[in-house]
Amino acid sequence: MEEAVKTKKHRRRRRAGDPVVLPDLVILGALFGLMIIGAVMIYSTTSYTSDLNNQSQFLKKQLLAEFLGLVAIAGIYLLPYNTIKWVGGRPMRLILLFGSLLSVFLLKTPLGKTVKGATRWIVIGPMQVQPAEIVKIAILIYIAGFIAEKKEFINTRTGFFHALAVTGLSAGLVYKISNNLSSALIIGGIGVLMIFASTKDWAKQIIGYALIIVLGVWFMISKAHSAQAAGQVDTLKFRYKRILVWEDPTNPDFYYEGAFQTLQGLYAIGSGGVFGKGIGKGIQKLDKIPEVHNDMIYSAICEETGLIGAVVVMLLLGTMVVRCFQLALKARDTYGMLLCTGVMLHIAIQTILNVMVVTNTMPNTGVSLPFISYGGSSALFLMAEVGLVLRVGRYSSR
């Protein structure tokens, strides 16, 4: 260390801000643990149904995205803190947010790619990106930058609704254009909870949001029920049907409405038991569970590694969440604190939604499990967020 400090390079760094220290090893350790579990499970679930001569095609793509993610972490970690602040500053955060929302609109252009009836990807050269993932990181930076810059403004009515409106607009756009409720929920959740964290008020917001959630859920459930009672299930949109599926996944009427996926996921979890069937020995992944390498990967983990594996995964994700929280506490400025809070919320909300869907604790909607599910853009942007958290940690560690 002493020697390192003496080098020219380091002196330049010191002038720029803070020293390069080892990044937070707890977060990195948990991240690598999740990535390894993810890689094993992706191979396990995809090799059987892949081409015989290219059984690791999914794994290779995922590892490439994760490698890019690691490069992003390193890059962000080495950036001066001012640059991070600059991104959350006045022109940049707006450019970022509008840019990300623009990418959502790109879905409506020929660049958009449709898979299984949903247009959720844009194709840029060799890469396919989900704009929703960009919006997640953009809203996180925007809200953090906005609140940190304006300070007390968030406690005014104008400030509060400004932030809330930006969040709602972004979530609404993602929901409307890519027809992706889960991403909209995550974007909304991140924004709303970050605003909630920065305001002094407790009761008004809690009551307000609780009221909206209860009313919304009650409305949807009652609409689904009334249609069911009237025997007009077919006229319902699939979201409402999925509520009925959630209530009774064994009802054969809903077999093709997602009940199949939910039910097969439950079978996988249930049949895994405490110790699981052994890695690679799952049966349900063989053409039974749709999207088993993606949204439903938690069910494959449960089947093959049992409750033990599930607990390990949840512990690692929990570690990430708690560590983000700790780094938020230690952060030296509001901006860094809010960045860590946002990333914590992102990881936590996405994990909770995913596991709730797979365990049929809530109606089915497509969410991937952070750092584990197959999906390049999700992994890349989540890791970039981890890079932000690590950078904030480096700033506060001097």
Partner 1 sequence: MEENKVPRRKKNRHGSPEVSMMKTIQGKIIIMAIGMVMFFAFLIFRTWTIMRDNGERYKKRVLEQQKYDSRAIPYQRGAILDRNGTLLAYSERVYNVVLDSSMALNDPDAIEATLNGVSATLGFEKDVVREYIKDHPESQYHILGTVTYDQRQEYETYIENYNATVKEENKNRETKLPGINAKSVWFEDQFRRTYPGGTLASDAIGFTTADGRGQYGLEEYYDDVLTGRNGREYGYLTAENALERTVVPPENGYTLVTTLDSYIQRVCEEKLKAYDEEHAGEFRENEMGADNTGVIVMDIHSGEILAMASYPFYDLNDPRDLSMYSDIQIDQLARMGGWSDEEPAEGESETEEERETKEERDAREESRLEKARQNLWKNFCISQSYEPGSVCKTFTVAAALDAGVIHDGDSFDCRGYLTFGEGSKATTIRCHQRYGDGVITLKQAVEKSCNVALMLIGQKLGKENFLKYQRNFNFGLRTNIDLAGEMRTASLVFNKNNMGITELMTSTFGQGFNVTMIQNISAYASLVNGGYYYQPHMVKQIKDSGGAVVQNIEPTIVRQVVSESVSRLMIDYCIGVVDEGTGTRARPAGYRIGGKTGTAERSGQGKRDYTVSFMGFAPANDPQIAIYVVIDRPNTASQENGTRNACILCKDILTEILPYLHIFMTEPLTAAERKELEEKGLKDTTALNSISENSISENEASAPVPMEEKPDIRVLIDDKTGYAIDPLNGEYLDPETGVPINGDSSIFQDENGNSIEIEVLKDEESEKPDPRE
Q: Which residues bind partner 1 (CB under 8 A)?
A: 5, 51, 116, 123, 125-126, 147, 151-152, 193, 196-200, 266-274, 277, 281, 283-284, 288, 302, 306-307, 310-311, 314, 317-318, 321-322, 325, 328-329, 331-334, 337-338, 341, 344-345, 348, 351-352, 355-356, 359, 361, 398
Say which amino acid occupies 271.
Answer: S
Question: Cα(274)–Cα(285) distance, rounded to whole angstroms?
Answer: 18
- Buried b / exposed e over 11-37, threshold 16 CB at 10 Å, is eebeeeebeeeebbeebbebbebbbeb
Q: Which is nearer to partner 1, 152 or 248 (CB)?
A: 152
DSSP letters along 203-242, please? HHHHHHHHHHHHHHHHHHHHHHHHHHHTT-GGGS-HHHHH
CB 173 → partner 1: shortest distance, Å?
26
CB 352 → partner 1: shortest distance, Å?
5
CB 307 → partner 1: shortest distance, Å?
6
Token digits for 243?
A: 């509520």
CB 87 → partner 1: shortest distance, Å?
19
Which parts of the chain fold into alpha helices (H)? 2-6, 8-16, 25-46, 57-78, 81-88, 90-105, 131-150, 157-178, 181-198, 203-229, 238-247, 259-272, 297-330, 334-358, 376-396
Q: Which is nearer to partner 1, 272 or 387 (CB)?
A: 272
Token digits for 109?
A: 């252009």
CB 99 → partner 1: shortest distance, Å?
21
CB 355 → partner 1: shortest distance, Å?
4
Q: Which is nearer to partner 1, 239 or 332 (CB)?
A: 332
Q: Which is nearer to partner 1, 173 or 338 (CB)?
A: 338
Q: How far is residue 32 from each of residues 57, 140, 286, 301, 383, measured CA to CA in Å? A: 21, 23, 27, 17, 11
Q: Which is nearer to partner 1, 32 or 196 (CB)?
A: 196
Question: Cα(195)–Cα(161) distance, rounded to whole angstroms?
Answer: 10
**357 conformational bin, left if phi > 0, alpha if psi -120 to 50, beta if neither:** alpha
Q: Which is nearer to partner 1, 101 or 310 (CB)?
A: 310
DSSP letters along 369-396, please? PTTTSS-HHHHHHHHHHHHHHHHHHHHH
Q: Which is nearer to partner 1, 114 or 222 (CB)?
A: 114
CB 223 → partner 1: shortest distance, Å?
26
Q: Which is nearer to partner 1, 72 or 347 (CB)?
A: 347
Start-to-end CA distance of the chain, whole Å, equals 14
Question: Cα(159)–Cα(149) distance, rounded to whole angstroms?
Answer: 11
Q: Which is nearer to partner 1, 202 or 230 (CB)?
A: 202
CB 229 → partner 1: shortest distance, Å?
28
Residue from 384, 346, 377 nearest 185 by CA: 346
Q: Which is nearer to partner 1, 29 or 225 (CB)?
A: 29
CB 200 → partner 1: shortest distance, Å?
6
CB 199 → partner 1: shortest distance, Å?
7
Token digits for 229?
A: 């009672």
Residue from 307, 339, 337, 324 nearest 370 by CA: 324
Question: Cα(339)–Cα(388) distance, rounded to whole angstroms?
Answer: 7
CB 276 → partner 1: shortest distance, Å?
10
- Buried b / exposed e over 323-347, threshold 16 CB at 10 Å, is bbbbbbeebeebbbbbbbbbbbbbb
Q: Which is nearer to partner 1, 235 or 361 (CB)?
A: 361
